[in-house]
Amino acid sequence: MASNNPSSSSSTPEGSATRSGQRLPEWARIANLAVGDVLSFLIFTVIGINSHHEEGVTFQHVVVTVLPFLIGWFVVSPFLGLFRREVTEKRSTMAIRTLSGWVLAWPICLALRIFFFTPERLQWTFALIALLTNLIFLLLWRVPYAWSKERKR
């Protein structure tokens, strides 16, 4: 039987429980996940630009570089349920879905990068580094997020 007590720590479709027992609205929970994903891709982008360009990181270069990754990820990830509560609150499910989502989004990201943003020839080393590094960055933040939600249940 579900409790009507607002200080109850169980999760409901309306939102996740916070430490004070108040529910985080669903839109805020999804926004937190999206912000984490954006930060993950931004970290990859800034590290990559810093390692290849001596003139430094510019806002325009970051945007042009990160945009195809963000578009590809946010097109694919909702279809795999990567923002659904039942996925985001269990470590193993989050890890498997994040892996699946990134493997499906990755070629879309590369195609967007080639056709719309940087039409030079794609190097296979970049493609492989983008695949592995972004996967690691996404898992490094999404799995602990799911673990923190598991602990609160």
Asked if residue 54 has pLDDT above 70, the reply is no
Asked if residue 12 has pLDDT above 90, the reply is no
Q: What is the pLDDT of residue 119?
A: 73
The Cα 134–Cα 36 span in angstroms is 12
Q: What is the pLDDT of residue 4?
A: 43
> How do residues 85-141 score in pLDDT, each as one tens digit?
999 989 999 999 999 999 999 999 999 999 988 777 888 999 999 999 999 999 999
Q: What is the pLDDT of residue 56?
A: 74
Asked if residue 13 has pLDDT above 60, the reply is no
The three-state (H, E, C) secondary structure of the chain, written as one string: CCCCCCCCCCCECCEEECCCCCEEEHHHHHHHHHHHHHHHHHHHHHHHHHHHCCCCCCHHHHHHHHHHHHHHHHHHHHHHCCCCHHHHCCHHHHHHHHHHHHHHHHHHHHHHHHHHHCCCCCCHHHHHHHHHHHHHHHHHHHHHHHHHHHHHC
Model confidence at 14, in pLDDT bands (50, 70, 90)? Answer: very low
Three-class SS state of 5:
coil
